[in-house]
Structure formats: C-alpha cells, structure tokens
C-alpha cells in the first residue's frame, strides 16, 4: 500500500515471476524495453527498482539517475 506500481518492465513477459507481478498490478503498463518505458512514462514515476543481470543494471540505473529518479538496485549476488 505504500507504492503505486504504474509500470512493469521485463524482457521475458511470459516468465512465471513476471506473470505473478502483472496479476498483482493489473493496471500497470507493461514494457519489454526499459528505454521505451522511460521515453513514454518519464514524467509519471519518481522511483525505479532494478533487479537485472550484471550487464544491464548499470545502464538502467544511470538512465534513471540522469532523470532525477530514486533508484533501488538489486545487483546479483552470484554468477550462476
């Protein structure tokens, strides 16, 4: 109840964890590309939560910070 989820982004929209999140937030707009999400919804959100593999958490985080967004980054703890 403390957060209003307005957008979800995942490259694999058919993944079970993604489907659960889409069910939990049926009014959230859905994106497969974070750049498109930022382009279309930049003015509508204040913060992002990033939980991606090593190669992609940096560009998402830097883009969010460059737009003045608050960012929570969940870096992977292991390689596998």
Q: Note the pLDDT of residue 52.
A: 86
pTM of the prediction?
Answer: 0.84
What is the rounded distance in angstroms from the CA atom of residue 76 to the CA atom of residue 80?
A: 9
What does R_g of the chain's alpha carbons equal in angstroms? 13
Q: What is the pLDDT of residue 80?
A: 67
1: pLDDT strictly greater than 80: no
Say how far apart CA 15 and CA 69 lie, in whole Å: 27
Nearest to 33 by CA among 19, 16, 52: 52
Average pLDDT, the chain: 91
pLDDT band of 47, cuts 50, 70, 90: very high
Alpha-carbon gap, residue 25 to 71, rounded angstroms: 20
The per-residue pLDDT for 76 is 74
Helices (H), the chain: 16-24, 34-41, 54-66
């Amino acid at each position: 109840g403390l957060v209003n989820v307005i957008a979800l982004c995942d490259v694999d929209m058919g993944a079970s964890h993604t489907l659960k999140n889409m069910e939990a937030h049926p009014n959230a707009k859905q994106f497969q590309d974070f750049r498109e999400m930022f382009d279309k919804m930049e003015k509508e959100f204040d913060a992002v939560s990033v939980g991606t593999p090593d190669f992609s958490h940096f560009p998402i985080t830097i883009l969010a910070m460059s737009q003045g967004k608050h960012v929570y980054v969940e870096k992977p703890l292991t390689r596998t």
